[in-house]
Structures are given as C-alpha cells and as structure tokens.
Amino acid sequence: MNEPTNTPMTLLERKATSILQRFYGYSSFRPLQLDIIKHAINGNDCVVLMPTGGGKSLCFQIPALIMDGCTIVVTPLIALMQDQVSALISNGIPAATINSNQSDADNRRILDGIYEGKIKLLYISPERLLIEMERWSKEIKISLIAIDEAHCISQWGHDFRPDYTRLSKIKEVYPDVPIMALTATADRLTRDDIGNQLKLSNPRLFLGSFDRPNISIKVHHNLSASSRFSVICHMIDKYEKDSGIVYCMTRKTAEKLNQKLMESGYRSTLYHAGLSAKARSEAHRQFINGDVQVVCATVAFGMGIDKSNIRWVIHNNLPPNIESYYQEIGRAGRDGANAETILFYNVSDLMVLRNFVDESGQADINREKLNRMVQFAEASVCRRRILLSYFSEQYNHDCGNCDVCSNPPSRFDGTILAQKAISALLRLNQSVGINTLIDVLRGSARADIISRGYHKIKTYGAGRDLSNSEWRDYISQMIMTGIFEINYSEKNRLSITPYGLSIVKNGVTIQLARYVPPLLKQKNKTTKIETLIAPEQQLLFTLKELRSRLSKKYGLPPYMVLSDKSLEAMANKAPIDMSQFCEIEGISEIKAIKYWRPFVTSIRKYKGITQPMPSGQSESETLMLIEKGHSVKFIAEAKNIQETTVYKHIVSLIRNDKLKSFDNIITKQQYLRVMDLYRQHREVMYEILRTEMPQGLPGVALAIADFLLRRKANENK
C-alpha cells in the first residue's frame, strides 16, 4: 500500500516487513507506518497523530526491535502498563515495565535485564522516568523514546497532566536519542505545542487518516429513559459473548444504570473516578478478561485500554465535544472487525452541558465545541463526513456505515403538529413540562390531568394519533429548533419563544424529521439464534468458546490469545492444517505454534473430518519457521522439542526437495569443514565435530551435498 509496486524494498524495509509478519502476523503496513518507522530508525524526531486504533503502537515497537538498545515508552497510566507489556510478551516481544505497583526487587531485576540488552521495550510513567533518568548510567543504550498520549503535555489539550511538562528534560539528558510523540487527539494548537514543549528538533508531523470505517455510527434522538435502556439491553444481547461500554455523563447515572443492568441479569460493572483504586482495577480486570458484558462508566474509563475486541460503545449522554466523542467511540473495534456505536441525544443533556460550558474556564472555546457536537448529532448528512471534516480530512463520499447513510431522514411539513403543541401550551399557561404537555395532547386520563381540569381545554386529545415516543421526539425537535425553551430553574417548565408564537400567529411553516423507532429487543427472546445463523457464524461461536478455554488455561485475556478479527478470518477460511492456519492475518509466529493445534483440531471436528492430521505435520511446521528466517535454536524452544529433532526435520526436508535454501541453517565454512572431514576422516568425523558445531549439523551438510549432486544430475539430463 505504501510502496509503488515496482520499487524494490530497501534492506530496512524488508527487515521491518519481516518483523511485522513474524511478531504480529500482519502481511502489510498501514499507510504511514513504514515511513514513521524509517524516520525514527534514522534518528529523527516526530509527532504522530492517528486515531485510536489507527496503529500507532507498531510505529515505535518495530524500531525498538530493529535498533540497538532499549526503547522507552512513556505512558500515563500505571494500571494499564502491565496489559500492554503482556500483549507484547504474548507475541514474543521482550518488553517490561518499571513502576510503583511492582516490588523494588522486580524493578531492579528488570533494570538488570535492560543493562544486559535483554529487554527491547520499557514502559514507564513520566514521573518515574524523570527519577530513573537521573540514576541511569550512560551504559544503558536507549534507542528511541516514545511518548504516548502526548497531548497530555499541552495546556491547550483536553487532558493536561502537569507531570508531562517536565518531559522537556529528556532532550537535555539524551540530546541524541530520537523522540516519537504520539496522540489520537490534538487540534492544531496542541499539535504544535507538543513539539515545542518536548523541545523536539525539527520534528516531522505524521498525520494519519482519522477514518475508522469498521465502526458504524448511529444517533438516536430523544428516547425516553426506558427506550434507552431497551436499546442498551438489545446491544448486550446482540453481542452476548462480547463486551461493550456505556458512557454516562455523571457517576450517578453510571451507578444507576449498572444497578439496573445487574438486576436484569446482565454481567455489568461500574467504573468512575470516585471508586477506590481497588474497585477500579477490579472493574478494569473483569472487563479486559471478558468476565463482564458491559461496563457502565464515566469518561474516566478508557484511556490506554488496549482491549481490541470491544464490539460496541453507547453514549448514554451527549459528550461535550467531538474530540472526546470520537476518541470514545474509537475504543470500539480496534482489531478492525466490525463494531457498533450509538449516541443518545437528548435535549435535557444539552441544557445541562450548556450550563457546564458557561461555567467552565474557557467558555467561548467550549461553547463552540459543544455547538459542533450538537450540529453533528442533529445532522441529516453522512455523519462520518462531518466527523472527518472536523478533523480537517478530505472525505468526499458518503460512508454507507452510519444511520443517515443507511436510513436518510425523511422530512415533512410539521406546522400543524407545532401549532397543536403551541396552542395546547398556551392554554396550559406555559406552566407544564414536556410530559404533561404530551399527556394533554394525547388525551390522557391521568388523575392529576383531570383534577387540574386540563381535560377541558380545547386541544385536549388533539394529538391522539401519535404515540408518546413520537410526540417526545417532535417536541424535542421543536425545542432544538427554538420553538420552545426549557426553564430549568422552574421545574423544567416549557415556554414558547417569539419564533414559536410566529408559527401560530404569522403562518410561519416548519419542517420536522420523521420519527424512526429505535431497533428494540426482539420480543421472542427464546428463539435459539444459533440454529438460524450461517455456518461461519456457528463456527465462530465454537472458536470463541475454544479461545475462552485457552484464555483460562494460559491466564491471558481472550483478545491476547487471538484477536476477534483473526477468529473471524479463521471462521471464514476454516484452516485444516498448520500451514493454512499460518495464513490467517494477525497471528504471530509464536501464537501460531502455541495455538494451531487446538484450533485446527476443533475446525476439523466441526467439519466432520475424521482422518488424523496429515503426518509430517511437525516437519512442515519446521519448514515454515525456517522459511521465515528463524534459527534452529528458536524453533526448538518454540516447539518445545530437541534441537537434534529439528535437524532431523531439516535433513528430511532437504532429502525430499522441500527445503532448497540453507543460509539460515549452516554457514559456508561449516559446510566445507564437514565435507572436508567426510572425505578424509569419515570414521572419526562426528567425534571431531562434536566440539565445533551442533550435533545435528553434520547430517544437514551431508544432505545438502546429496541435494547438490541431485540438482547437478538433473541439469545434465
């Protein structure tokens, strides 16, 4: 994708691509990744701006693996460092963290590992780095310093952290080490500030695309609390075996929702900044491990969460700006598989947010940001176009994966509806809120309507033809378009604006967007979905179950075993042997070795294949690893077999003409030495060579000699 196909790859590019395949199981880089990697390896500073899930981590992890020394990764949240490190280790990448949650002895041991050059990536918090940096001797070779969540350094950003400002010291201590600052959110001001604050030298800005096409975007307007709850339940049911997040504006809302979900039998947990550190880390752990289906959270939840298989995100309330919104929905579907997001947009939230904004420090900027958020929520054009244009990105087609694209709102002349509502409210002396107004319009016989005599007014029951939900939506639209106002200080009483009055007095007409009911829970919940779904889906369920068993066995969260995206690919391709298994995207070598057998066995069983696995399986495994450039030592360790067994495989592969290139196995000198001894001292040759080379290698040399003879004979035919 990055390279015009006819330019040959440079050595560095080949090396980076081979690491991408071996350690991550991906076949090609995403746009910019390779440029960023080369830029850093060449010793240059840069600022990388890509959305959450865009693929920033590889940009410093691959240089770390290629360069001499250890790469330092500065990241703000200690609680999450261990996850990031575990994910790397599960792919065979030597990473570690030094932090205050670990014992001094552990930290010292890791430091020793760095001195010995055993650790290629070290995750650390900014405050800890500043302390350690003073102590580290120059003997530690630092290859690169990556600063994640770099927007935290800027006062302009939305998540300023004072500890970050002191990172300017890094350049003083390590003027020659390249720095890579990475963030998913930064407006232009913040972007420039990052480079200045860190004193980067001539930093290049890499601005990635903010598009996340696998995330679907939906906005629901003005749902009642119970409808919102139903939508949430529906989502959980739909992704029964996966997990999602509901973001709430306040701790209280999150608490209530969590309670209600648990009472309804869902596996739900709560996360907000008011909980104890212990409760928070427990919630986090449950979520990461997939023990809960949903976390009800405030915005405090999510930064640095690497869980790649979050299948959905719901905003129970309107976020205050598009940056936060986009970052939060961006936590869904990081593995690239489809994910869904829904935003509930309610007038009452808007009013609360407006008050927050007015009282905030930078009221003008924040008001403008809120307005942009509202425009997004109310828009009737492709939502992704709005989002991407907000991030100054060219995107000139409709996305086909948002609610507007899939269901364009239809508009109708709403003048008569507005007139009914306005005149009812006039007759009610503008003394009621939205619920009572709807009840009057729909002719409710509620006791207090009757006792107050509201049933006697002329418009009582004039709107019987519409449901409560329809009226709620239309009146909310009327509030948003400035026909009514809500008076919060007076029990949310509605009042009519001069514009509203002009509709009944001066014949002004208005348009409304037709109400679309939300997709709710199927009534018939007992229908067994499994029997109705496509075979691939069925297999996917089976594979997910297997993954959860493996996850328990190895004490790793399911997504660290294999990603959802890889499982989906597996369900589609249904590999029935090791080599087919290795073709699946996103499976690193070490994982392929660890997991191919259980998955392939399960797929064969699913497909009803009863013959045993092809024999020589283990040999072809060896072949694949050799072809990918692994050493015999590594192969033996990874497969948990003796090196001599690997050499036996190699001999057999050569004798069967399956292996024809020997660079990684034996050097020319070794080959010549064996052949020399073979000719002159055949009887004692193994005796002599025992101290010179691995035990199985002479056999390999002889097999190569035969191979060369065979080839020559063939050429002469």
Q: Shortest gap between Cβ of 56 and ligand ADP (angstroms)?
A: 3
Point out which span in 51-59, 434-442, 498-506, 574-582 binds ligand ADP (CB under 6 A): 51-59
- Selection from 600, 85, 584, 61 nearest residue 335 by Cα: 584
With CB under 6 A as the contact rule, the residue among 45, 335, 403, 473 that binds ligand ADP is 335
Q: Shortest gap between Cβ of 50 and ligand ADP (angstroms)?
A: 5
In the stretch 315-334, what mask flags binding to ligand ADP with x, by CB under 6 A?
A: -------------------x
Residues forming contacts to Zn ion in the complex (CB under 5 A) are 382, 384, 398-399, 402, 405
Q: Shortest gap between Cβ of 76 and ligand ADP (angstroms)?
A: 14
CA distance 715 to 548: 54
Instruction: Rank residues 25 and 319 by Cβ distance to ligand ADP and give the closer one.
Output: 25
Q: Shortest gap between Cβ of 551 and Zn ion (angstroms)?
A: 35
Find the binding residues for ligand ADP in span 291-310 (CB under 6 A).
308
Point out which span in 29-37, 525-533, 592-600, 695-703 binds ligand ADP (CB under 6 A): 29-37
With CB under 6 A as the contact rule, the residue among 16, 32, 36, 50 that binds ligand ADP is 50
Q: Shortest gap between Cβ of 161 and ligand ADP (angstroms)?
A: 18
Q: CB under 5 to 8 A by kind: which of ligand ADP, Zn ion, none does 26 bind?
A: ligand ADP
Q: Shortest gap between Cβ of 340 and Zn ion (angstroms)?
A: 14
53 binds ligand ADP (CB under 6 A): yes
CA distance 271 to 277: 10
Q: Shortest gap between Cβ of 337 and ligand ADP (angstroms)?
A: 10
Amino acid at 625: L
Point out which span in 23-31, 185-193, 529-537, 590-598 binds ligand ADP (CB under 6 A): 23-31
CA distance 701 to 661: 12
Q: CB under 5 to 8 A by kind: which of ligand ADP, Zn ion, none does 405 bind?
A: Zn ion
- Residue 27 CA from chain centroid, whole number: 19
Find the binding residues for ligand ADP in span 557-596 (CB under 6 A).
563
Start-to-end CA distance of the chain, whole Å, equals: 44
Q: DSSP letters along 297-322, please?
A: E-TTS-TT---TTEEEEEESS--SSH
- Selection from 54, 329, 375, 378 nearest residue 217 by Cα: 329
Q: CB under 5 to 8 A by kind: which of ligand ADP, Zn ion, none does 327 bind?
A: none
For residue 408, give the DSSP letter.
P
615 token code pair: 């024999």
- Selection from 18, 45, 43, 39 nearest residue 29 by Cα: 18
629 token code pair: 């450039």
Burial 655-685 (b: 16+ CB within 10 A, else e): eeeebeebeebbeeebbebbbebeeeeeeeb
206 token code pair: 């890499």
CA distance 333 to 321: 21
Tell me the CA distances in angstroms from 419 to 476, 484, 496, one per residue in order.
Answer: 15, 12, 11
Q: Shortest gap between Cβ of 336 and ligand ADP (angstroms)?
A: 6
Instruction: Rank residues 149 and 473 by Cβ distance to ligand ADP and give the closer one.
Output: 149
Q: CB under 5 to 8 A by kind: which of ligand ADP, Zn ion, none does 30 bind?
A: ligand ADP
Neighbours of 359 (CB within 10 A): 9
Instruction: Rank residues 128 and 384 by Cβ distance to Zn ion and give the closer one.
Output: 384
CA distance 608 to 617: 20
* Contacts with ligand ADP, residue ranges (CB under 6 A): 26, 29-30, 33, 50, 52-58, 308, 334-336, 563
